[in-house]
Amino acid sequence: MATSRSTETQWLTDQERETWVRLVAVTELLPGLLDSQLRRDAQLTHFEYFVLAMLSEAKDLTLRMTSLANLTSATLPRLSHVVRRLEDKGLVRRTPCPEDKRASNAVLTEAGQARIRDAAPGHVTNVRENVFDALTAEQVEQLHDIADALLVKLDPHGRLTALYAPDTTEPEAL
């Protein structure tokens, strides 16, 4: 028999349940839309694109694998597997980390820079068509505020949000 944390469960209201079901539907449908467009147009999965994008925004197009794992919310084994696939495509190379010989860095190659540059317009168009075009300017602002409120709870150390908050310092987790 399962035990609950409190003596009585605070069930969702009808409105909360309806909102929750819609949020789950969005989180289920959107990744497939993003992934299928990138696979078709750029021969990349959405996660591969995300890895390349994080490297493209990094200083010297280079990140320590552990930092890249934090930014992409990936385990090191998953990231290592994806980076190996990107290496096989000539988009990334691994080099020893000069500060810590036990660690390695992922470096975006010229071919990787070209791939992300070529893939970005289609990806942005897909995001715009499937997300932002459905919203008013006020709803975009509300979505921003809602995402920020959720991320405070879901990403308290700022691992995924560090790159998108330029007025803050880099989180210690990186």
The average pLDDT across 85-102 equals 94
Interatomic CA distance for residues 70 and 131, integer angstroms = 26
Interatomic CA distance for residues 162 and 50, integer angstroms = 14
Exposed, middle or buried: residue 59 (CB in 10 Å: 0-12, 13-18, 19+)?
Answer: exposed
Place of tokens 């996660």: 47
**Helix (H, G, I), strand (E, B), or coil: what is residue 101?**
coil
Length of the chain: 174
Residue 50 pLDDT level (bands cut at 50, 70, 90): very high
Residue 164 pLDDT level (bands cut at 50, 70, 90): low
pTM: 0.83
Q: What's the pLDDT score for residue 23?
A: 96
For 28, residues 6+ apart whose C-beta sits below 8 A from its C-beta are none
Place of tokens 């200083």: 59
Interatomic CA distance for residues 128 and 5, integer angstroms = 41
Interatomic CA distance for residues 108 and 92, integer angstroms = 5
Q: What's the pLDDT score for residue 168?
A: 45
Nearest to 69 by CA among 103, 34, 99, 39: 103
1, pLDDT greater than 70: no
